[in-house]
Structure 1
Amino acid sequence: MKKLAMAVVTVFCITVTGIAQDKTVQDLRGESGKTIKKDESDTTVKTWKTGGMFNGTVGQTSLNNWAAGGDQFSFNSNGILNLHAFYKKGIHSWDNSLDLEIGYINSTSLGTRKTNDRIDLISKYGCQLFDHMYLTGLFNFRSQFTAGFTYPDDTTKIKTSNFLSPAYVIVAAGMDWKPSPTFSLFLSPITSRWVIVNDDELSAKGAYGVDSGKTVRNEIGAYLTATVNREIIKNLTYKAKLDLFSNYKHNPQNIDVFMTNLISMNVYKGFGFNVGADFIYDDDQKSFGKDKNAARLQVRQFIGIGYQRKF
């Protein structure tokens, strides 16, 4: 009898323990399967949207006993970083973007030369008047990181740019039309632009329309800028910017143009390609033509394969 009682107690304990364990497992499963719901009293609205894209490309070529000829060794690299921070709350918006680009090529015959160099910061604060239309103040800074040169021949180089030489600072007030989060068109009838040439050598030449020996020139004019940053199809992005400026003080009919275009495609796990084209026309940059005293449309295009990452 005693043995039977002990057996019954043992079976009971095992059964209770098993039931308890089953209930514990069931409770855990139930909790893990629940959907997290936002507290109805939490009315917090996300006001900032931040992100960016990095794109890096490299290429290398080497030749040995190559009958067709060419440089024994060449290496090129290019880096692009786009950052943005957008604020929206009620009728107020604040859009900020920063574009940084740098590229070099090195070869045995020509040495190291720069192929790409840009700093472009734009900040716009707007107050919404009605659908898609904002009364906006704008600040834009554009320059480059390092010295740039032109090469009339293989042994001669002429300095044409440097950090803050030139640099363009724009302060404007106007109307900003934003029909979608990926497109903006800003127009200002009264804009103040400063052209800065902080390099003594370039300043002495009166480069970029700045009077010889001076470092800053102020211009008043009309300004238009349009930006687009859109995913055309999955993993294929088009980013572009167009700036137009007319100087009321000097030859207002000669409009300065600055345009950048970049198409990026992610092919496989961050590896992809990009295609770009930039166009610049500056009536004050008269270093082209037969006598090196004419303005011309400046064009730069590039194709790269490398690694890109959005964040």
Structure 2
Amino acid sequence: MKNCLAAIILILSFCSTKLYAQEIDTIPVNTKGMNIKLKRSPLPSRQGPLNFEPVKIKPLVVNAKVNYWKTRTNIGININQAQFSDNWKGGGTNSIAVGGLLNYRAEYNKNSYSYVSELILQYGKVKNKDQLQKKTNDRIFWDNKASFQLSKSWFFFGSVSFESQFDNGYRYFRNNNQEEQQVLISRFMAPGYLTESIGFEYKPVNYFSTRIGTGTARQTFVLDSTVYDGKKNVYGVDKGKRFRNELAFQVVSAFDKDIFKNTNLKARYNMFIPYEDISFSRIDHRLDVALTAKINKFMNTSLTGVILFDKDTDPKVQANQTLALGFGFTFPR
């Protein structure tokens, strides 16, 4: 009996020791922060060859065309009208004024070649009660320039420009009866100017450029003899002739930039030095400035001015200025 009991106790002791060992073997160990490196298996491993099969993809054809042309058209219309009753004590004169502007610009750029064509048409008229109609603006200007890029800021260019007016221009005076009279002094192609020029252009930025026309020719046309009004020479053309040709050195500078939000400043300066005048006493200067501010989508206000010094037309400096409020449209929008 004692032997059986001893055997049972021995068996139980052996089993409990085995269970305890199993519990210790399964205790989890925190390996965070421990530098454990796995040894590479010394047994060689062999990978089979990778087989790639080509996949045929159909080419995607995009039907797209590159347009090297950029165009812009500005149209402005302004109207001013005033009406007074016969017994209006504040004084005033019934009047109506209408003005219009069209500015078209087309530009072509491809590689080192560029072409720019700009057309400016301006016309305005005012009519006051008991007075003759008078022009407030009248100009036709068409400039064409082709250029080839020589370096980052320098171009070789050739240009042709035309300038004249739409309507008759008059000199006004009053006779002995204080009646207003008019005398014709200009009209379409009297005068008219055609200028051809070749040279170099400096254009460091998109909004500013200067042309240096070392070889420039200008033809001045007077195709209506009635504008002479007893004079032997008008606009540099002798009476009995139709045009005059001049060779000259020309400088043309242009500036066109939005200086503020919705406010654009555009200026153009032209200096013309005839080669035949070695004393440089007949240098022609012309400065055109236009400041345009956009009020809303369809309305704007503009301030324009011209300063001209040309001894062939007048020995003194000529100037005009116009302030207008009207409708403006730009295409494409």
Regarding TM over 0.5, the answer is yes
1:258 to 278, 283, 286: 286
Higher mean C-alpha displacement, 51-60 vs 242-251: 242-251
**Corresponding residue for residue 92 of structure 2:** 70
Q: Secondary structure at the match of 1:111?
A: coil
TM-score, reference length from structure 1: 0.80
Distance in 2, matches of 1:54 and 1:240, equals 18
Note the alpha carbon deviations across 1:63-86, whole angstroms, 9 max, x for none: 122224332x10001111110001
Shift of 1:213: 1.3
Q: Does 1:88 align with 2:109?
A: yes
**Corresponding residue for residue 304 of structure 1:** 324
Q: Secondary structure at the match of 2:235?
A: helix
Q: Percent identity?
A: 28
Q: Secondary structure at the match of 1:69?
A: coil
Work out whether residues 171 and 183 of structure 2, in 8 Å CA contact, stay in contact via their aligned partners in 1: yes
User: Structure 1: which amino acid aligns with 2:307?
Assistant: F
**Corresponding residue for residue 282 of structure 1:** 310
Work out whether residues 225 and 239 of structure 2, in 8 Å CA contact, stay in contact via their aligned partners in 1: no
Distance in 1, matches of 2:248 and 2:92, equals 49
Note the alpha carbon deviations across 1:240-281, whole angstroms, 9 max, x for none: 211110112245332111221111111122112111111111
Relative to its length, the structure with more strand (as a share) is 1
Q: Does 1:223 align with 2:250?
A: yes
Q: Does 1:267 align with 2:295?
A: yes
2:202 to 150, 170, 177: 177
Unaligned segments of structure 1, at least 5 residues: 1-38, 287-294
Unaligned segments of structure 2, at least 5 residues: 1-59
User: Structure 1: which amino acid aligns with 2:319?
Assistant: V
Larger radius of gyration: 2
Distance in 1, matches of 2:310 and 2:172, equals 20
Q: Name the CA shift for 1:186/1:42 in 2 (closer, same or farther; >3 Å).
A: farther
Distance in 2, matches of 1:179 and 1:253, equals 32
**Corresponding residue for residue 195 of structure 1:** 220
Distance in 1, matches of 2:164 and 2:255, equals 21
Relative to its length, the structure with more helix (as a share) is 1
Higher mean C-alpha displacement, 224-233 vs 152-161: 152-161
Distance in 1, matches of 2:73 and 2:286, equals 22
The 5 A counterparts of 1:55-204 are: 55-64=76-85, 65-71=87-93, 73-153=94-174, 155-203=180-228
Shift of 1:156: 2.1
**Corresponding residue for residue 6 of structure 1:** none
Shift of 1:55: 1.0
Note the alpha carbon deviations across 1:62-120, whole angstroms, 9 max, x for none: 1122224332x100011111100011100101011010000000111213111100001
Shift of 1:228: 1.9
Q: What is the aligned-residue RMSD (CA, Å)?
A: 1.8
User: Structure 1: which amino acid aligns with 2:258?
Assistant: E
TM-score, reference length from structure 2: 0.75
User: Structure 1: which amino acid aligns with 2:299?
Assistant: F
Distance in 1, matches of 2:88 and 2:316, equals 38
Question: Number of matched residues?
Answer: 264
Q: Name the CA shift for 1:83/1:221 in 2 (closer, same or farther; >3 Å).
A: same
Distance in 2, matches of 1:171 and 1:285, equals 21
Q: Secondary structure at the match of 1:96?
A: strand
**Corresponding residue for residue 53 of structure 1:** 74
User: Structure 2: which amino acid aligns with 1:298?
Assistant: Q
